[in-house]
Structure 1
Amino acid sequence: MASTANYRRAFRDIVRGFSTSELNGELVYIKHLSPHDQVELEDLTEFYKNEAESRGLPTNEDMLELLREQGDWTEADENEIKKIESFIETLQAAKSKLILKSAMDNQDRIINKERERLALKKRERADLIGRTCEVYADDRTHDFYILKSFFKDVGVSNPLWSNDEYDELTRDEIAKVVYVYNNSFEFFSEESIQHLVLTDFYQPYLGFADDSMQFYGLPFCQLTYNQIRMIVYTRIFKSIYENNQNIPDKIKNDPKALLDYGSISDEEKEKMKEKFNEGDGSTLVGASDEDYEYLGLRKPDSGISLHEEAKKKGGSLSMQDLMKLSGTK
């Protein structure tokens, strides 16, 4: 987990909409992507794709058809990807109905295993397809966006390279720029922003999440993706805090566990509390101590189960058996 200083720095950069770094011994300013930028990138991707097609580069579908003809990639392979994707959706839907943390954690392990299978199968397909129009377009757009994110000034209005300078950059120079960019954006992943929102220093900002003008001084439509993520997760975690009175301490700084906890409906929690706070000795089958804490319930005292003892005696207990179990001589 990153340090508080890292999260403070990430918070500062998200709020101002850019990061700073050093490239070739000079301070540079790296602009954060916005939804408006995304539209331009999608247009650019289409331009590069058409350019590649005009030069005779095959499309993904062209290569898949060729691979099917050669028997290197079959309909069965393609269907396997669809089946794994469908299975993951089913697992996620099933998880949303679970209540015990231990069951959720086990479901996550299964989901992650299936995601790994899916990634391997897709990687196999990508390796077979090779360099197509779509791959070329994605690569060119990726490099273009990163290079165009670098500026000379704090106002991010003066690009680091002119169009001519951009066209003259070597692959090694581009690789170095991409490396600097990736390092600068290490703490802006979905998970990192979730952790940021749960840090102690960020808590005073929770109350301002409903108004982007008050939070950032900007209307929502002008926010960067990082700003949108931060304000969205601020609202989500604020809602979880407000609607749950007894959140276990051990999950308060764990975004994934907290999101799982918040996904349990109030109705289900209330049913559990009504059942187990009556002190009737009821238990949750398979529930651990952590599960009871997670649900905010008191674990019933362990003791002798008359049902289990009766099973040992062939299904029923005599008066003498009952007296013995109660400690009566």
Structure 2
Amino acid sequence: MDAIRVSGIEKAYGGQRVLTGIDLAVPAGSVFGLLGPNGAGKTTLVRILATLVRPDAGRAEVAGHDVLAEPFEVRQKISLTGQFAAVDELQTGLENLTMVGRLRRLGRAGAKRRATELLDRFDLADAGRKLVKTYSGGMRRRLDLAMSLVTNPPVIFLDEPTTGLDPRSRQQMWSFVRELRDAGSTIFLTTQYLEEADQLADQIMLIDHGIAVAEGTADELKVRIGGERVELAFGSAADRVLAAADLDAAVVASTDLSVTVATTGSAAEVRELLDRMEKLGATVDKVAIHRPTLDDVFFALTGGNPR
């Protein structure tokens, strides 16, 4: 069953097309990663799915409800954590969470009980009675995420949730995302960190100038731009020239003292390659195996900077 379905979504602002014919399906209980450069349309798509922006064309359903025909029902099933923490600095963490619970009609006792549970879950219990203005950036992001989970929504939109966080806080947020998925929530994630999508997303879509240019698992996208490569570093330029001439069409890159060839990455193939160089008389000083990353995919398919 799909928690999110999008068909032919389009959006333009002042004649500038932001999204063009976006189609996607997100299975329930999975993490979907949306990647793209600045201005690619990531946040616009999230805002459409969260019923904050009307599309110009196309259809979208979230948790079984049409975003245009049933916006109220959609809002009851989702939470949205934006790029900036939406917390009240002049209240404590406990007060922020309790306020959201009251607004969600949990009642005074129910709201406070849920707030206490979330403070424990997000490692904020010790800071729960401190003003939010004293919190670190990582603590604010954790509180922001906790506020979006007061009612346990089945679909969670995270729009660049770890922007500006230090590595430790980012790892902590990753753990929370995995816990939410394991508990059955569907996560729609946009991020400027390609490693983040690689670590978390079950399925990834890459968009550029509002157009979907690739979709698949991280491994499928990496295979799309080529498999593993072996870099052979030689002790002299003469050896490098000798090797390059012998390998010829297999060479995909070279420097003054190295050549890089495509490979499956198997040990047998690497041994065969080294034996070939030995018979040729070209001395190999170092061997390095390079595996494609999502960074490679990004630059190959968009030619832009990750965002």
In the superposition, the TM-score normalised over structure 2's length comes to 0.26
Structure with the larger helix share: 1
- Which structure carries more strand by proportion? 2
Name the larger-Rg structure. 1
TM-score by length of 1: 0.24
